[in-house]
Copies of this chain bind each other. A is one copy, B any other.
Amino acid sequence: MRERNKLSERQRGILRFMETYLDMQGFPPTIREIGEATGINSTSVVNYNLNKLVEAGLLQRASAKSRGIRLTSTAKSLPKAVIAARTTARVPLVGQIVASAPVAVPDDVGYYYDEDDMLEVSLAMLGGFDAAEVFALRVKGDSMIDAMIGDGDIVLFRKQNYAENGDMVAVWLDERGETTLKRFYHEGDRIRLQPEHPTMKAIYVDPMHCLIQGRVLSVIRHI
Protein backbone atom coordinates (compact mmCIF):
# COMPACT_ATOMS: atom_id res chain seq x y z
CA MET A 1 0.00 0.00 0.00
CA ARG A 2 2.54 2.54 1.10
CA GLU A 3 6.01 2.93 -0.20
CA ARG A 4 7.61 1.04 2.63
CA ASN A 5 8.95 -1.22 -0.07
CA LYS A 6 11.31 1.38 -1.37
CA LEU A 7 12.82 1.98 2.03
CA SER A 8 16.06 0.41 3.13
CA GLU A 9 16.17 -2.16 5.87
CA ARG A 10 17.53 0.44 8.24
CA GLN A 11 14.87 2.95 7.40
CA ARG A 12 12.15 0.42 8.06
CA GLY A 13 13.87 -0.39 11.32
CA ILE A 14 13.93 3.25 12.31
CA LEU A 15 10.24 3.56 11.58
CA ARG A 16 9.42 0.49 13.57
CA PHE A 17 11.53 1.66 16.51
CA MET A 18 9.94 5.08 16.38
CA GLU A 19 6.50 3.56 16.69
CA THR A 20 7.27 1.40 19.69
CA TYR A 21 9.36 4.05 21.43
CA LEU A 22 6.66 6.64 20.97
CA ASP A 23 4.10 4.20 22.23
CA MET A 24 6.12 3.21 25.25
CA GLN A 25 7.68 6.52 26.28
CA GLY A 26 5.17 9.03 25.08
CA PHE A 27 7.84 11.16 23.45
CA PRO A 28 10.14 10.66 20.48
CA PRO A 29 13.62 9.15 20.73
CA THR A 30 16.87 11.01 20.20
CA ILE A 31 19.07 10.40 17.20
CA ARG A 32 21.45 8.46 19.41
CA GLU A 33 18.72 6.28 20.82
CA ILE A 34 17.59 5.46 17.31
CA GLY A 35 21.14 4.59 16.40
CA GLU A 36 21.60 2.24 19.33
CA ALA A 37 18.30 0.53 18.75
CA THR A 38 18.85 -0.03 15.07
CA GLY A 39 22.54 -0.82 15.17
CA ILE A 40 23.76 2.36 13.54
CA ASN A 41 27.09 3.51 14.89
CA SER A 42 27.06 7.10 13.81
CA THR A 43 24.62 9.86 14.58
CA SER A 44 25.20 11.34 11.19
CA VAL A 45 23.98 8.16 9.55
CA VAL A 46 20.83 8.24 11.61
CA ASN A 47 20.45 11.85 10.64
CA TYR A 48 20.97 10.91 7.02
CA ASN A 49 18.32 8.20 7.07
CA LEU A 50 15.95 10.36 9.04
CA ASN A 51 16.08 12.93 6.30
CA LYS A 52 15.41 10.22 3.77
CA LEU A 53 12.29 9.30 5.68
CA VAL A 54 11.24 12.92 5.69
CA GLU A 55 11.67 13.00 1.91
CA ALA A 56 9.54 9.88 1.71
CA GLY A 57 6.87 11.75 3.64
CA LEU A 58 6.86 9.36 6.56
CA LEU A 59 8.42 11.63 9.16
CA GLN A 60 8.49 15.27 10.03
CA ARG A 61 11.37 16.92 11.82
CA ALA A 62 11.64 20.09 13.82
CA SER A 63 15.18 21.20 13.09
CA ALA A 64 17.58 21.81 15.93
CA LYS A 65 15.09 20.57 18.48
CA SER A 66 15.90 17.55 20.61
CA ARG A 67 13.59 14.66 19.87
CA GLY A 68 11.97 16.81 17.25
CA ILE A 69 10.74 13.89 15.20
CA ARG A 70 7.21 12.86 14.62
CA LEU A 71 5.48 10.26 12.56
CA THR A 72 3.46 11.52 9.67
CA SER A 73 -0.17 10.58 9.77
CA THR A 74 0.40 8.22 6.87
CA ALA A 75 2.99 6.39 8.91
CA LYS A 76 0.71 5.79 11.83
CA SER A 77 -1.78 3.01 11.87
CA LEU A 78 -4.82 5.08 11.30
CA PRO A 79 -8.22 4.20 12.69
CA LYS A 80 -10.43 3.07 9.91
CA ALA A 81 -13.87 4.46 9.69
CA VAL A 82 -15.96 2.19 11.79
CA ILE A 83 -19.69 2.15 11.56
CA ALA A 84 -21.62 1.89 14.73
CA ALA A 85 -24.48 -0.45 15.39
CA ARG A 86 -26.75 -0.60 18.37
CA THR A 87 -26.10 -4.11 19.46
CA THR A 88 -25.42 -4.03 23.16
CA ALA A 89 -27.55 -5.09 26.04
CA ARG A 90 -27.36 -4.53 29.76
CA VAL A 91 -27.48 -7.47 32.07
CA PRO A 92 -27.38 -7.46 35.86
CA LEU A 93 -24.14 -8.35 37.52
CA VAL A 94 -25.74 -9.97 40.52
CA GLY A 95 -22.73 -10.97 42.52
CA GLN A 96 -19.97 -13.46 42.78
CA ILE A 97 -19.67 -17.17 42.38
CA VAL A 98 -18.54 -18.64 45.64
CA ALA A 99 -17.89 -22.34 45.48
CA SER A 100 -19.24 -22.93 48.94
CA ALA A 101 -22.58 -21.18 48.51
CA PRO A 102 -25.51 -21.38 46.10
CA VAL A 103 -25.71 -18.65 43.55
CA ALA A 104 -28.16 -16.07 44.74
CA VAL A 105 -30.19 -15.05 41.75
CA PRO A 106 -33.12 -12.71 42.15
CA ASP A 107 -35.78 -14.97 40.82
CA ASP A 108 -38.39 -12.32 40.33
CA VAL A 109 -39.02 -10.71 37.05
CA GLY A 110 -39.09 -6.99 36.77
CA TYR A 111 -36.37 -6.77 39.33
CA TYR A 112 -34.74 -3.43 39.64
CA TYR A 113 -30.99 -3.34 39.53
CA ASP A 114 -28.69 -0.56 40.43
CA GLU A 115 -27.06 1.21 37.53
CA ASP A 116 -23.63 0.38 38.82
CA ASP A 117 -24.32 -3.32 38.82
CA MET A 118 -25.24 -3.49 35.18
CA LEU A 119 -22.87 -4.99 32.70
CA GLU A 120 -22.92 -3.83 29.11
CA VAL A 121 -22.24 -6.66 26.71
CA SER A 122 -22.51 -7.26 23.04
CA LEU A 123 -25.80 -8.76 22.06
CA ALA A 124 -24.04 -11.64 20.38
CA MET A 125 -22.88 -12.81 23.76
CA LEU A 126 -26.43 -13.48 24.91
CA GLY A 127 -26.93 -16.28 22.44
CA GLY A 128 -30.24 -14.93 21.26
CA PHE A 129 -31.85 -14.77 24.67
CA ASP A 130 -33.63 -11.82 26.10
CA ALA A 131 -31.46 -9.71 28.33
CA ALA A 132 -34.11 -9.99 31.04
CA GLU A 133 -33.43 -13.68 31.54
CA VAL A 134 -29.67 -13.30 31.54
CA PHE A 135 -27.49 -12.49 34.51
CA ALA A 136 -23.79 -12.26 35.13
CA LEU A 137 -21.56 -13.42 37.94
CA ARG A 138 -18.01 -12.57 38.79
CA VAL A 139 -15.90 -15.55 39.71
CA LYS A 140 -14.03 -15.29 42.97
CA GLY A 141 -11.04 -17.53 43.47
CA ASP A 142 -9.80 -20.48 41.51
CA SER A 143 -12.58 -22.92 42.36
CA MET A 144 -13.73 -23.00 38.74
CA ILE A 145 -10.32 -23.51 37.30
CA ASP A 146 -11.18 -26.94 35.98
CA ALA A 147 -13.77 -25.21 33.81
CA MET A 148 -11.01 -22.95 32.51
CA ILE A 149 -12.51 -20.08 34.42
CA GLY A 150 -10.25 -18.08 36.66
CA ASP A 151 -10.38 -15.46 39.35
CA GLY A 152 -12.10 -12.31 38.20
CA ASP A 153 -13.72 -13.79 35.12
CA ILE A 154 -17.27 -12.84 34.37
CA VAL A 155 -19.73 -15.56 33.44
CA LEU A 156 -23.03 -14.92 31.67
CA PHE A 157 -25.87 -17.26 32.55
CA ARG A 158 -29.39 -17.81 31.36
CA LYS A 159 -31.69 -18.43 34.29
CA GLN A 160 -33.03 -21.97 34.09
CA ASN A 161 -33.40 -24.90 36.46
CA TYR A 162 -33.07 -27.68 33.92
CA ALA A 163 -30.47 -28.59 31.34
CA GLU A 164 -30.01 -30.51 28.13
CA ASN A 165 -27.23 -32.97 27.63
CA GLY A 166 -24.02 -31.16 26.92
CA ASP A 167 -25.10 -27.87 28.46
CA MET A 168 -22.63 -26.04 30.61
CA VAL A 169 -24.42 -25.26 33.82
CA ALA A 170 -23.92 -23.89 37.29
CA VAL A 171 -25.13 -26.52 39.73
CA TRP A 172 -25.49 -26.50 43.48
CA LEU A 173 -24.44 -29.84 44.93
CA ASP A 174 -25.95 -29.95 48.40
CA GLU A 175 -24.12 -33.17 49.26
CA ARG A 176 -20.84 -31.44 48.72
CA GLY A 177 -22.05 -28.03 49.74
CA GLU A 178 -20.68 -26.19 46.73
CA THR A 179 -21.53 -24.59 43.44
CA THR A 180 -19.66 -25.74 40.37
CA LEU A 181 -19.59 -25.18 36.63
CA LYS A 182 -19.74 -28.38 34.61
CA ARG A 183 -21.14 -29.87 31.46
CA PHE A 184 -24.36 -31.68 32.13
CA TYR A 185 -25.14 -35.23 30.98
CA HIS A 186 -28.13 -37.29 32.06
CA GLU A 187 -27.00 -40.92 32.13
CA GLY A 188 -29.65 -43.40 33.28
CA ASP A 189 -30.62 -42.63 36.84
CA ARG A 190 -27.72 -40.42 37.65
CA ILE A 191 -26.11 -37.26 36.33
CA ARG A 192 -22.60 -36.97 35.00
CA LEU A 193 -20.94 -33.62 35.48
CA GLN A 194 -18.06 -33.28 33.11
CA PRO A 195 -15.42 -30.60 33.71
CA GLU A 196 -14.51 -28.44 30.76
CA HIS A 197 -10.85 -29.09 31.25
CA PRO A 198 -9.98 -32.22 29.27
CA THR A 199 -7.60 -33.65 31.84
CA MET A 200 -10.06 -33.49 34.71
CA LYS A 201 -12.36 -36.40 35.41
CA ALA A 202 -16.13 -36.36 35.65
CA ILE A 203 -18.16 -36.62 38.83
CA TYR A 204 -21.47 -38.42 39.20
CA VAL A 205 -24.36 -37.18 41.32
CA ASP A 206 -27.91 -38.06 42.21
CA PRO A 207 -30.49 -35.87 40.41
CA MET A 208 -32.14 -35.21 43.76
CA HIS A 209 -29.07 -33.47 45.06
CA CYS A 210 -28.29 -31.47 41.97
CA LEU A 211 -29.88 -28.04 41.71
CA ILE A 212 -29.31 -26.34 38.40
CA GLN A 213 -29.11 -22.61 38.72
CA GLY A 214 -28.39 -21.46 35.22
CA ARG A 215 -26.87 -22.26 31.91
CA VAL A 216 -23.62 -20.69 30.88
CA LEU A 217 -23.78 -18.52 27.79
CA SER A 218 -20.40 -16.87 27.71
CA VAL A 219 -17.28 -16.20 29.66
CA ILE A 220 -15.51 -12.87 29.62
CA ARG A 221 -12.06 -12.26 30.93
CA HIS A 222 -10.41 -8.89 31.17
CA ILE A 223 -6.66 -9.09 31.50
Contacts and interface: CB of A to CB of B under 8 A. Distances in A.
A176 interface: no
Contacts of A161: 16, 20
A208 interface: no
Contacts of A203: none
Interface of A: 1-2, 4, 16, 20, 23-28, 30, 60, 62, 65-71, 74-80, 82-90, 108-113, 120-122, 124-125, 127, 130-133, 142, 145, 148-150, 159-162, 167-168, 196-198, 215-223
Nearest to A219: B221
Given A4-B108, A88-B88, A109-B2, A25 B62 contact: yes
B120 A122 contact: yes
A207 to B, nearest CB: 14
Given A27-B67, A198-B145, A20 B162 contact: yes
A210 B219 CA distance: 29
Given A120-B85, A132-B78, A60 B220 contact: no
Nearest to A111: B1
Given A67-B66, A109-B2, A150-B148, A77 B133 contact: yes
Q: Which of A4, A25, A149 has the most CB atoms of chain B within a 10 A radius of its CB?
A: A25
A26 B60 contact: yes
A1 to B, nearest CB: 4
Contact of A108 (B2, B16, B20): B2
A198 B149 CA distance: 12
Contact of A222 (B27, B69, B71, B127): B127
Contacts of A79: 130-132
24 contacts: A1-B111, A4-B108, A24-B162, A25-B62, A25-B68, A26-B28, A27-B27, A27-B67, A28-B67, A66-B67, A67-B67, A78-B132, A87-B120, A121-B122, A124-B222, A145-B198, A148-B149, A167-B223, A215-B223, A216-B223, A217-B222, A218-B222, A219-B223, A220-B220
